[in-house]
Amino acid sequence: MISKGLEKQIQSLPIYKSEREFIDYFTNNTVTILTGETGSGKTTQIPKILLSHKLIPQQVVITQPRRVAAISIAHRVSEELNTTIGDVVGYSVRFQEKSSKYTKIKYVTDGMLVRECILDPLLTKYSVVIIDEVHERSVHTDILLAILKGLISGDEKKRPDLKVVIMSATFNA
């Protein structure tokens, strides 16, 4: 169980001042672009907010540009939710995966999500894809954005149910 002090600190993050606005926008749009300063709680709290509002029918996947970040953030969110890593919160990086059929929030490197797209082009196990740190632009991030655009736009939307959140500290929305 997390301490009351940590819980208070989490609830004071700037992201919670805009929680209702985020939920309303997310619910009514296919793509949400979210910008906020580093340390505002985007990476750790947005998936928890979606979970608490029951807006994740399947899984939410959150990309990170580096494997150390994906693993450490997954551990942090798992701790905040008072669960064991691999249960509600998991991760997948090259040569290492901790997730289960119960995982609702999964942190991955952008390269791992590209790899998943090869095996499952429709990303059927995800209801929300969050591309985090989009300002760091990599080939994998650009590929993912193109794949997601193909899934959610056009006359024949392949995944009209899929929600996409693009997050960055410095991204010019």
Q: What is the pLDDT along the chain (173 residues), one digit of tens a residue?
A: 677 777 888 887 878 889 999 999 999 999 999 998 888 889 999 999 999 999 889 999 999 999 999 999 999 999 999 999 999 999 999 999 999 999 999 999 999 999 999 999 999 999 999 999 998 888 999 999 999 999 999 888 899 999 999 999 875 65
What b/e sequence results for 52-84 when a residue is b if at least 16 CB atoms lie within 10 Å of its CB, and e otherwise? Answer: eeeebeebbbbbbbebebbbebbeebbebbebe
pLDDT at 14: 74
Percent helix, strand, coil in the chain, to 5, is 45, 20, 35
Locate 124 and state its tokens. Answer: 């059927």
pLDDT at 114: 96
pLDDT at 171: 59
What sections of the chain are H helices per DSSP? 4-11, 19-28, 42-52, 67-80, 110-119, 139-152
